[in-house]
Structure 1
């Protein structure tokens, strides 16, 4: 009897040891439902987290500022997408003595930079405005409170004109509501920060799409020179919106980052390290099958400005990945380089075999 009990116990132990472990459930906070961030999150969930044994739930949000708060305080949120100007604004406020900003941002860490998001400054088709420098004193939708768009629009306006947007001129509308208000002549300008090509524009009714257009950045304007203290020149390509744009439109961009928390628990460190290994191993899948913005992303860890820090466990794995890729490229290059031919022998010269 005792032997049978022991045998049964051993069978159960063996079965449990070979049982497939349940995937870990994590969350990533992204952006609006028809924005680029949520698609990037979906790509990470499918092509990176899944192979790493992580069930990554993709959560919609208002945008970057809300993501910082949720990354810091919401249970289960282990990853977030955050614009560089929003991240820097938190650091600046923390350094200026804002305790809440310090509490939110100082424990956060970067995994890696992703891509540039274009600043779309939209007006009605019949608007007399032509460039960014002409939006001063106009009524503007700058995005929802808590969104990265709101931070970018506010920062951009202040850089260009040396003042805040007058309170009576500001409306905090979602991207969709902002375009509707623009067409209905309730605002003069809608500022929308989103990576191209954006579903927001490509999913619009063609008749409505023809009622709006984009303002250009004037490279010669002093307002542009001041804006370039924080933002960088870029182009919104006509090929991104073939049913809308007839030509490329010069604009400005802000960088998107993948962010986490400075976790120290062994289990979380291990899982995020596996996430980093999977990111390296499956990066080609992201670029081939994911949102077109992945083609602009490189697995690289550039030097950071003061106050920004990489998450050390993931940084270690990604740097190992970079070293391995570099070694593989060097080895392939050496193999592909033809070895110099030895000098001709007297016999080869006689037989006219030397070239």
Structure 2
């Protein structure tokens, strides 16, 4: 074989190898995990609906994408996982996202999570203060000396519970604090081992609904001049109301809320996040959210770019500009 033929043969082999490598690369799925919360809360089922919607296959989803919802300890744990690379994305409360990105509040002295980026604001997250019916708790001030679960360290709920207590002149040492997720907290409440617990999440949430039906509960109002001052001091809070009979035999209850947000890292490719965001707001995803969870109907394109305490991911921002919700 002369030199020119040998060179052409080598080129053909190299070309074939490169083509095979490209095909193999194209067939390798991209994984996009969504850190959620405890399985009894709202993050987990909503995360499952979104993960299923954006996963590729057939006529739906992002081609070549495999997405799963992963149970976790909530907002702070999800941001830590994104920062550490063990999660591609996660749900968080808007207050926790702001603190992380700015290095303030909960993240004071811990450094900024500079690369935290927003995919979408999802829905209001209501602060529930659930009490036993016979516990005699009519206001936050009545929690003094009571057995109260404020959720686990690493959750957004624990941060907000401390803020709410402080607004009413209470410290954590003024209550008999427990650190339970809403499922176990509900069990303890039912058994008489707990007087009340905090939970931040979209209503109705399964664990509280089940508890209200099986044992009966009261929702403690979070309202009054203390709340007016709290909202002035912490602008990521807003007034909210749990409608009557959202939970069995529970009257309309004034409270406050933050926003649930879906966040990721700026390290995630722009094109991938653009495609994910586009599928997130497709008609098929809309139908799945509406049918899949009571909170799904509150997840709207119009609200997706509200509560912008952190920057949008460039891929998401591109979609929102194309969709006309950002100018």
In 1, the alpha carbon distance for the partners of 2:305 and 2:150 equals 31
**Which of these residues, 73, 77, 84, is aligned with residue 66 of structure 1?**
77
Superposition map of 1:60-99 within 5 A: 60-75=71-86, 77-91=87-101, 93-94=103-104, 98=108
**Which of these residues, 240, 262, 267, is aligned with residue 263 of structure 1?**
267
In 1, the alpha carbon distance for the partners of 2:226 and 2:105 equals 27
**Which of these residues, 304, 310, 313, is aligned with residue 312 of structure 2?**
310
Superposition map of 1:246-285 within 5 A: 246-263=250-267, 268-282=269-283, 283-285=285-287
Task: Tell whether the 8 Å contact from 2:100 to 2:107 is kept in structure 1 after alignment.
Answer: no
What is the aligned residue count? 305
In 1, the alpha carbon distance for the partners of 2:256 and 2:99 equals 18
Task: Tell whether the 8 Å contact from 1:137 to 1:165 is kept in structure 2 after alignment.
Answer: no
Specify the alignment match of 1:178 in structure 2: 185
- Displacement of 1:57: 1.5
- Aligned partner of residue 73 in structure 2, secondary structure: coil
- Aligned partner of residue 100 in structure 1, secondary structure: coil
Specify the alignment match of 2:151 in structure 1: 143
Larger mean CA deviation between 185-194 and 108-117 belongs to: 185-194
Residues 325-346 of structure 1: CA distance to partner in whole angstroms, max 9, x if unpaired? Answer: x9xxxxxxxxxxxxxxxxxxxx
Superposition map of 1:68-217 within 5 A: 68-75=79-86, 77-91=87-101, 93-94=103-104, 98=108, 100-102=110-112, 105-161=113-169, 164-166=171-173, 169-204=176-211, 206-207=213-214, 209-210=215-216, 212-217=217-222
In 1, the alpha carbon distance for the partners of 2:307 and 2:73 equals 29
Task: Tell whether the 8 Å contact from 1:280 to 1:318 is kept in structure 2 after alignment.
Answer: no
- Displacement of 1:181: 2.6
Specify the alignment match of 2:35 in structure 1: 29
TM-score by length of 2: 0.81
What's the C-alpha RMSD, in Å, of the aligned pairs?
3.3
Structure 1 residues 184 and 55 mapped into 2: Cα distance closer, same or farther (>3 Å)? same
Structure 1 residues 17 and 170 mapped into 2: Cα distance closer, same or farther (>3 Å)? closer
In 1, the alpha carbon distance for the partners of 2:286 and 2:184 equals 36
- Aligned partner of residue 316 in structure 1, secondary structure: helix
Structure 1 residues 173 and 126 mapped into 2: Cα distance closer, same or farther (>3 Å)? same
**Larger of the two Rg values belongs to structure:** 1
Task: Tell whether the 8 Å contact from 2:239 to 2:256 is kept in structure 1 after alignment.
Answer: yes
Unaligned ranges ≥5, structure 1:
327-355
- Aligned partner of residue 120 in structure 2, secondary structure: strand
Structure 1 residues 272 and 128 mapped into 2: Cα distance closer, same or farther (>3 Å)? same
- Aligned partner of residue 240 in structure 1, secondary structure: coil
In 2, the alpha carbon distance for the partners of 1:240 and 1:318 equals 33
TM-score by length of 1: 0.75
In 1, the alpha carbon distance for the partners of 2:280 and 2:197 equals 35
- Displacement of 1:184: 3.6
Structure 1 residues 280 and 180 mapped into 2: Cα distance closer, same or farther (>3 Å)? closer
Structure 1 segments, 4+ long, off by >6 Å, are: none
- Displacement of 1:302: 3.4
In 2, the alpha carbon distance for the partners of 1:214 and 1:95 equals 28
In 1, the alpha carbon distance for the partners of 2:33 and 2:25 equals 25
1:288 aligns with 2:283: no
Task: Tell whether the 8 Å contact from 2:240 to 2:257 is kept in structure 1 after alignment.
Answer: yes
In 1, the alpha carbon distance for the partners of 2:105 and 2:255 equals 30
Unaligned ranges ≥5, structure 2:
none
